[in-house]
Amino acid sequence: MDYGLTEDQQMIREAAGVFADEQIKPQGEAIEYDTSRLAYLVRAAGKLGFLGMCLPEDIGGIGADTVSFALAVEAFSKADASFGSYLIIHNALIGEALMHADQREVVVPWLEDLTTGDVHGAFAGISHTGDKITVSQDGTDCSVQGRHKMVTGAGVSQFLLVQARSATSDTPACALLLMPKETSGLEIGEIQKTLGLRGAACAPVVFDNLLLPQTQMISATDQAAEIVQEMETFAGIGVAAQALGLAEAACEAANEYAGMRQQFGEPIRRFQAIAFMLAEMQTAIEAARHMPYNAAWLRDQGKDSCIASAQARLYAVGMVNQVTNTALQMHGGVGYIREYPVERHFRDARMLGIIGGPTDVQKRIIGKELMKDTDKMAELPGDRLLSVIMG
């Protein structure tokens, strides 16, 4: 991997950092309780091109690469972790799906609106909690049934992208459907009072005898499953960058507090125990930094980044929970009150291992790939196996 950033990547990182520091960070706590402020900031980010940054220029995007996307997610998440979710939703999930849709004429207007920030979308994927969304043929329409307990961004969205499974053998096993929130039979519930990432506006969604024209089934071929896999790979890179930004914010907050808090006439960060805690936090962050950018670079090179993305997400989510826990511990009792941002960082970190699927999903992806490699090795003749092992 080339660790040097291009001029375009540096410009995007700087622009994202300025927007994050000037617009998002001052509103971090307010975003948790006021969705109108959140909606305003999301639109503002869209006007700057961040919501459709990975889309091509001919439909209003800026054609940014995956590394640039990760840089922006990291910068935004450092200011407020929930805000990073919207870059992931719009670029890695919705944008990626719509760009590869079969029904191109249906999705182009939505893509154009996404790039300006005029509309927000949400993705209801396959649930890991037992909820089911099914689709079946109903004449010239599609009938959608089911529910999803927690869809990130649904509480402020104007449309949904839905992944559904076949209810009958006549329908493709995996389908992607596009539906405005006004669609009859679609009910988006109230924003849930989650432990963390409250600004992500998670809400339950119910599909009750919902009928859509077949043209709204934007991908209904064998390619749909491949699209979903690529969406998850892309989003995994984003979540790892999101965790990285949040960990940086927690570490900086802890370092600042340790420099301000006096004990025995000097700042507590001069004591070896506290200095060691800060050193371990910073080392963990730097160890995690390589992984999302390596996965992003692989994706930009057209190489398989599925395993690298899963590994980056798995490691970064574990790392951010460790770092935020240490940061809160360093604050002592005041870490539990809202006067200090570390309590919000702690809560947000816990949610990163839940929304979009638990970390066990990444373990399953990695383990499955390892089994493939083992099976291939077992099939090799003895002399060929030895040459592979010895390099």
Q: Are residues 85 and 183 in the same domain?
A: no
CA gap 258, 38 in Å, rounded: 31
Find the domain containing 106 and state its range.
7-120
Q: Find the CATH number of the domain harbouring 344.
A: 1.20.140.10
Query: Does residue 364 lie in a domain region?
Result: yes
Is 389 within the bounds of a domain? no
Q: Which two tokens stand for residue 236?
A: 């995994």
Give the E-state strand segments of 9-158 in sequence order.
121-124, 133-138, 141-151
The answer to the question of residue 27 being in a domain is yes
Residues with Cβ within 8 Å of residue 202, at least 6 apart in sequence: 150, 151, 152, 153, 154, 155, 191, 192, 194, 355
Both 234 and 363 in one domain: the answer is yes
Segment 125-136 shows an average pLDDT of 82
In-domain check, residue 372: yes
Q: Which of 220, 245, 277 is the last residue of a domain?
A: 220
C-alpha angle 164-70-346 in degrees, rounded to nearest 5: 85
* Confidence class for position 381, pLDDT limits 50, 70, 90: low
Based on the fold, state whether residues 68 and 167 are members of the same structural domain.
Answer: no
**Distance (Å, rounded) from C-alpha 183 to C-alpha 180?**
6
C-beta of residue 179 within 8 angstroms of C-beta of residue 210: yes
Q: From 172, 201, 220, give the residue that closes a domain.
A: 220
Contacts for 264 with CB less than 8 Å, ≥ 6 apart: none
- The answer to whether residue 238 sits within a structural domain is yes
Per-residue confidence (pLDDT) for residue 310, from 0 to 100: 95
**Helix/strand/coil for 144:** strand
312 and 208 housed in the same domain:
no
Q: What is the pLDDT of residues 49-80, one digit of tens each?
A: 999 899 988 887 899 999 999 999 999 999 99
156 and 249 belong to one structural domain: no
Question: Is the same domain home to 205 and 278?
Answer: no
pLDDT grade for 12, boundaries at 50, 70 and 90: very high
CA angle in degrees (0–180, nearest 5) for 348-70-177: 80
Choose one of 61, 88, 120: the last residue of a domain. 120
pLDDT of residue 377: 47
Domains contained in the chain, number:
3
**373 and 247 together in one domain:** yes
246, 77 Cβ separation under 8 angstroms: yes
Within-domain flag for 175: yes
Answer yes or no: are the C-beta atoms of 55 and 99 closer than 8 Å.
Answer: yes
Let me know whether 215 and 233 are in one domain. no
Same domain, 323 and 373: yes
pLDDT band at 1; cut points 50, 70, 90: low
In a domain, 105, yes or no: yes
Q: Is residue 2 part of a domain?
A: no
Phi, psi of 124, deg, nearest 5: -100, 95
> Picking from 98-102, 142-146, 386-390, which range would have the lowest pLDDT averaged per residue?
386-390
